[in-house]
Structure 1
Amino acid sequence: MPPAPRLKRVCVFCGANPGLNPAFAEAARAMGEAIAARGLGLVYGGGHVGLMGIVADSAMKAGAEVIGIIPEVLMRREVGHGAITELHVVGTMHERKKMMADLSDGFIVMPGGVGTLEEAVEAFTWTQLGIHDKGIVFLDVNNYWQRMAELLDHMVAEGFVKPEQRPIADFVASPEEALEALARFEAPAVKSWASPQQR
């Protein structure tokens, strides 16, 4: 029997606003379509607004399974999506992020604000620490995430991120490239945090 495919569901982090550049919304639509075209499921933040709503609607329309997870405090503010496969309402943001991670096999980060960045950084950290072995791919629409790539490179240069951990986060230009990057991702081995001088 052939092995099960590595990717079954993809978690997409993205803004609850559409942003000012129409390219962001177009990329969200394309992302939903690309997920469905590969027969994958979408896991996301459960909202019906902004890029979240666009990627969910696009994936649903194209025939994908769509699972949303939204905390009670945001149920009204982000307008919980009522027309997806499953909508889970949880108590806290921490529960939301854990369920999103548990239900997915990798993360794609689209343009968004501080909340999107926080979700992406936590997912990176969990792979870095060996809590899970999932890749994080930034969909770098119009170079939106270029400064994030530069910051990670700076962290490596200054000795706070190991060079072998830097590839945990990839930066690509298209939804298809993002899914390809997740499919081939291999988590780095988790090593001691101490430097040789500290041991």
Structure 2
Amino acid sequence: MRASVLAARTLRPPAARDAAAEAIRAQALAWEAVSRARTVAAYVSVGTEPGTRPLLDALLASGTRVLLPVLLDDNDLDWAAYTGPDDIMSAARGLQEPTGATLGVDAVRAADVVLVPGLAVSPAGDRLGRGGGSYDRALARVGSGTPTAVVLYDDEVGLAVPVEAHDRRVSHALAPRGVVALTALDG
């Protein structure tokens, strides 16, 4: 499934990806959880991922504190504050990370909303990631009442995804068409 989603993403024209990034920015800013948040944990999109850069800059301009991940050697995530586009550097595995001082793996607990990457999400909130488990570890640190959203293209929301025991569900999907509340199922 990962290969299929990644292949479909490469077929999206750059103009469509740019339009999706702008729509994601607008949808996120209109979502009450984000509009009232003092701190948002997010990430810098890379390659053909749904774009987050317009959203990051809009959050920063509005005075919202933005935390971005820094990948550790053991695949866990540390966090650092985002201070602007000049604060981003190329990192391992083609990632883009903040250059500022790291705050520790538990810094994500301070977020009022957590936005994570993914490839697909089920109606129950099961998120298909890249397989490294980094965001599953970070999501395990987030309080149960904190909204967590996977950022996707519209056609990646509501799919049946494989689930493993360590996988953490998200409460929402953030896509160009809007924010979708997901129904966590017991089990």
TM-score of the two chains, using structure 2 as the length reference: 0.45
Structure with a larger share of its residues in helix: 1
- State the structure with more CA Rg: 1
